[in-house]
Chains A and B, each alone.
Chain A
């Protein structure tokens, strides 16, 4: 039987190391937050679709994956993948819109569970299609960005990760602005509040839904482009993003963009620390365990008020 372990590095050793060298914590925190920024992007979209259309999109991660491939193909064609961010957003917007018009519109007014299962089927379809068409190879796009050095080289920040972070902030801000100021944004908010009333007031809720779904796909697509430059992409990378965006939305609630960002950054940081302390093999178990705990805690807290999570 093989021995577990991190050689001479047990959990206690890892924790000790953090105390001995506080600069390590800075590195872990920064890295974690930067990773979390991308989750936050996926979460914005999930919150939007859930809040407005009452659909939980399990294929969220697949939109990220597809966005990544758009950027990759751009890169393979000789264009700098940075342009993949807006291009992926546009391509995925159209894709999301068409998906809505063909499939999603049929599940919008049905049971929430039906939407979960339908989007789950969609996620499998997209993953496997990607595998057939693009191959299962891991790909990556070279952004050519460098590394920032802080604290005398002890803390490094990959510039591309910083770009992702800034993108998350900017997109969050833009989203907020869009929802508040633009006509379509207001229409979306009205539909979210009361679809029937919105319809009576003359809003074409079907178009609103299509736009919302498209917007969600666009945001995920942009996130995907960032992923392809920061790490790697492959057809099966989606599910972790879906799960994490769901977790973030549960913690942050549906309405608050800033809360979603904060929760995303927090999750990324927590996960990174957990990986460092407990070992990466338990990182995923930690995340899902956290999901279970958060839900159970939420339910407990609500039940004390004699309510339950609806």
Chain B
């Protein structure tokens, strides 16, 4: 009895000492001639593919900038470096890691994680510690309604993803002499923050144009079959079908619409490129409309990468795959920092924050200019249509490189 008590006491003390021993002194934010940025990205878990895209996007810019001589501040050239942690696609973990980056590793500049959920968890942390947080993968509109001063997003918010589809449907109706407000819309969304925001945007624009929403379903979260919804769709015969459910939603839509012979003249979805629809299912996905933040065919140019197409080539050379827009927007986030450091001529976080807020920059990804809430209001979303296995930009008409094929013909 005596000895077991001792054992427990020593164990408790041992644990405490272990904790103390493992504590780190942390790195300073600027190590010698390197500026250290920090990021929690999803290297494992359900977002691991896009998390890798994000990391690769960050790394490409780091490499490029360092190649080009680094960032010049106060007459000295500094290299860039990013410290990464794996948030496991879990918001709780992301928030913890943000704190670790700030408190233990002394990082003063954060790059965003992948997904709205994770960004939502990390934003309050960076706001609390007044650390600039520039992100390219958290598109939830809600993020920008919280009054955050340190959060900046280079991408268009999620509610913009499929508004173009609604507007396009209205345009087409008008061109055929029909009243856009008579259009019927059927929608199915996955039950996560991003997809629900996409839904909000669609509903807003539909309401504005007076259209009727006849089906508003959620995608079954774990099973991978949307036949119940599609059965309804067939019964109701809408003019536009909108689906958003990440890569799973895109794949299911393409396949099951064909299988069930759901004949809707216009079908729009998100994440076609993540799902590799045009490559793996060219016949089934023919005619589908896809939302995108960016496309290599767009005519943007900048001094670090050249055109969007040049960026895509450089990325493919480095990482052996074509960059999806998730990678491009991550790269843009780092460019914002580079530009801000250069303009602020300082690494003081508040000066940098103010410089970021004043950004007015053209990048290969598109124009970046932040409004008061931190959203990038100068970059439009695009809509492609999959035509013969290619993603062709069809909307907004200003940037369209191809003509819309309407109505969509059911694949055999």
The answer to whether any beta carbons of A and B sit under 8 Å apart in the complex is yes
In the assembled complex, B217 has its CB within 8 A of some CB on chain A: yes
Known: A31-B228, A284-B222. A140 touches B251 (CB 8 A): yes
The docked-state distance in angstroms from the alpha carbon of A147 to that of B219 is 23
Chain A residues within an 8 Å CB radius of B248: 138, 232, 234
Chain B residues within an 8 Å CB radius of A79: none
Are B232 and A14 in contact (CB-based, < 8 A)? yes
In the assembled complex, A9 has its CB within 8 A of some CB on chain B: yes
The segment from B12-20, B253-261, B309-317, B358-366 that touches chain A is: B253-261
Are B220 and A232 in contact (CB-based, < 8 A)? no
What is the distance, in angstroms, from B196's C-beta to the closest C-beta of chain A? 7
Known: A9-B214, A14-B232. A137 touches B49 (CB 8 A): yes
In the assembled complex, A202 has its CB within 8 A of some CB on chain B: no
Known: A35-B225, A138-B251, A231-B252. A236 touches B216 (CB 8 A): no
Known: A7-B216, A137-B247. A142 touches B235 (CB 8 A): no
Identity of the chain B residue whose Cβ is nearest the Cβ of A238 in the assembled complex: B222
The docked-state distance in angstroms from the alpha carbon of A2 to that of B256 is 28
Chain B residues within an 8 Å CB radius of A280: 188, 217-221, 226, 228-229
Are B261 and A153 in contact (CB-based, < 8 A)? yes
In the assembled complex, A54 has its CB within 8 A of some CB on chain B: no
The docked-state distance in angstroms from the alpha carbon of A239 to that of B234 is 31
Question: Could you say which of B44, B47, B215, B224 contacts A9, with CB atoms under 8 Å apart?
Answer: B215
The docked-state distance in angstroms from the alpha carbon of A253 to that of B221 is 28
Identity of the chain B residue whose Cβ is nearest the Cβ of A140 in the assembled complex: B251
Known: A132-B44, A138-B247. A2 touches B196 (CB 8 A): yes
In the assembled complex, A8 has its CB within 8 A of some CB on chain B: yes
Chain B residues within an 8 Å CB radius of A86: none
Known: A24-B235, A27-B231. A281 touches B275 (CB 8 A): no
Question: Could you say which of B235, B261, B280 contacts A147, with CB atoms under 8 Å apart?
Answer: B261
Question: On chain A, which size bracket covers the interface?
Answer: 35 or more
The segment from A101-109, A172-180, A255-263, A271-279 that touches chain B is: A271-279
Known: A6-B215, A6-B217, A9-B216. A158 touches B259 (CB 8 A): yes
What is the distance, in angstroms, from B409's C-beta to the closest C-beta of chain A? 15
The docked-state distance in angstroms from the alpha carbon of A59 to that of B261 is 36
In the assembled complex, B281 has its CB within 8 A of some CB on chain A: yes
Chain B residues within an 8 Å CB radius of A236: 46
Are B223 and A283 in contact (CB-based, < 8 A)? yes
In the assembled complex, B227 has its CB within 8 A of some CB on chain A: yes
Chain A residues within an 8 Å CB radius of B217: 6, 9, 279-280
The B246-301 residues at the A interface (CB cut-off 8 A) are: 247-248, 251-252, 255-256, 258-261, 274-275, 280-281
Question: Could you say which of B196, B213, B219, B223 contacts A240, with CB atoms under 8 Å apart?
Answer: B223
Are A276 and B228 in contact (CB-based, < 8 A)? yes
In the assembled complex, A237 has its CB within 8 A of some CB on chain B: yes
In the assembled complex, B191 has its CB within 8 A of some CB on chain A: yes
Are A272 and B227 in contact (CB-based, < 8 A)? yes
What is the distance, in angstroms, from A275's C-beta to the closest C-beta of chain B? 4
Chain A residues within an 8 Å CB radius of B350: none
The docked-state distance in angstroms from the alpha carbon of A128 to that of B48 is 11
Identity of the chain B residue whose Cβ is nearest the Cβ of A31 in the assembled complex: B227
Are B228 and A28 in contact (CB-based, < 8 A)? yes
The docked-state distance in angstroms from the alpha carbon of A281 to that of B191 is 7
Interface size on B, residues (CB 8 A): 47
Identity of the chain A residue whose Cβ is nearest the Cβ of B262 in the assembled complex: A156
Question: Could you say which of B218, B234, B235 contacts A279, with CB atoms under 8 Å apart?
Answer: B218
Known: A27-B231, A137-B49, A276-B232. A283 touches B260 (CB 8 A): no
Chain A residues within an 8 Å CB radius of B191: 281
In the assembled complex, B405 has its CB within 8 A of some CB on chain A: no
The docked-state distance in angstroms from the alpha carbon of A121 to that of B367 is 49
Known: A231-B252, A232-B252. A275 touches B228 (CB 8 A): yes
Known: A9-B215, A158-B259. A136 touches B45 (CB 8 A): yes
What is the distance, in angstroms, from B332's C-beta to the closest C-beta of chain A? 23
In the assembled complex, A131 has its CB within 8 A of some CB on chain B: yes
Known: A240-B222, A280-B228. A5 touches B235 (CB 8 A): no
The B304-332 residues at the A interface (CB cut-off 8 A) are: none
Chain A residues within an 8 Å CB radius of B259: 147, 156, 158
Are A135 and B261 in contact (CB-based, < 8 A)? no
Known: A142-B280, A153-B261, A281-B191. A128 touches B44 (CB 8 A): yes
Known: A17-B235, A21-B235, A284-B221. A232 touches B227 (CB 8 A): no
In the assembled complex, A293 has its CB within 8 A of some CB on chain B: no
Are B224 and A283 in contact (CB-based, < 8 A)? no
In the assembled complex, A166 has its CB within 8 A of some CB on chain B: no
In the assembled complex, B212 has its CB within 8 A of some CB on chain A: yes
Identity of the chain A residue whose Cβ is nearest the Cβ of B263 in the assembled complex: A153
The docked-state distance in angstroms from the alpha carbon of A7 to that of B233 is 13
Chain A residues within an 8 Å CB radius of B258: 147
8 contacts between A and B (CB under 8 A): A6-B217, A28-B231, A31-B227, A136-B48, A142-B280, A158-B256, A280-B221, A284-B220
> Shortest 6 CB-CB distances between A and B: which pairs?
A7-B216, A281-B218, A7-B213, A231-B224, A275-B228, A158-B259
Chain B interfacial positions (CB closer than 8 Å to A): 44-49, 187-188, 191, 196, 200, 212-229, 231-232, 234-235, 247-248, 251-252, 255-256, 258-261, 274-275, 280-281
